[in-house]
């Protein structure tokens, strides 16, 4: 799976790109037929005392289904972009696991009917 990574309103970060690619690779372990993965990292604003605030959007293309997750930074951590990416990918993982489980159940029900 090729991860398409877009940075908006911020310069490209090799460290964040590496982290996002590692998290995307973990998704392939849950389902190996992912069609596409597009991640957008953008600056959501700047707070005087809490620093930069980020928004991460993950669009995961699956056969016949898409998972779209948007997360904005909630806290003023030093590594907010990475933390926000982790929360976004955690949510994508949960949704992907649920989708795979439903798909398996549907296939078992279809097999029983025939």
pLDDT reading at 78 higher than 60: no
Cβ 57 vs Cβ 68: under 8 Å? yes
Considering only CA atoms, which of 2, 4, 28, 10 is closest in space to residue 82? 10
Ordered by start, the domain boundaries in the chain are: 3-113
Mean pLDDT rounded to a whole number for the chain: 88
Q: How confident is the model at residue 107 (pLDDT cuts 50, 70, 90)?
A: confident
pLDDT in tens, 16-69: 999 999 999 999 999 999 999 999 999 887 666 566 788 999 999 999 999 999
CATH number attached to the domain at 3-113: 3.30.160.100
Cβ 65 vs Cβ 98: under 8 Å? no
pLDDT reading at 74 higher than 90: no
pLDDT of residue 15: 95
Q: What is the pTM of this model?
A: 0.85
């Amino acid at each position: 799976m090729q991860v398409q990574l877009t940075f908006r309103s911020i310069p490209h970060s090799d460290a964040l790109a590496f982290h996002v690619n590692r998290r995307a690779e973990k998704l392939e372990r849950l389902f190996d037929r992912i069609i596409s993965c597009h991640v957008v990292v953008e600056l959501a604003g700047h707070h005087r005392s809490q620093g930069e605030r980020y928004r991460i959007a993950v669009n995961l293309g699956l056969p016949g289904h898409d998972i779209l997750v948007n997360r904005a930074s909630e806290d003023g951590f030093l590594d907010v972009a990475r933390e926000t990416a982790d929360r976004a990918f955690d949510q994508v993982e949960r949704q992907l696991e649920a989708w795979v489980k439903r798909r398996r159940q549907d296939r078992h029900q279809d097999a029983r009917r025939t």
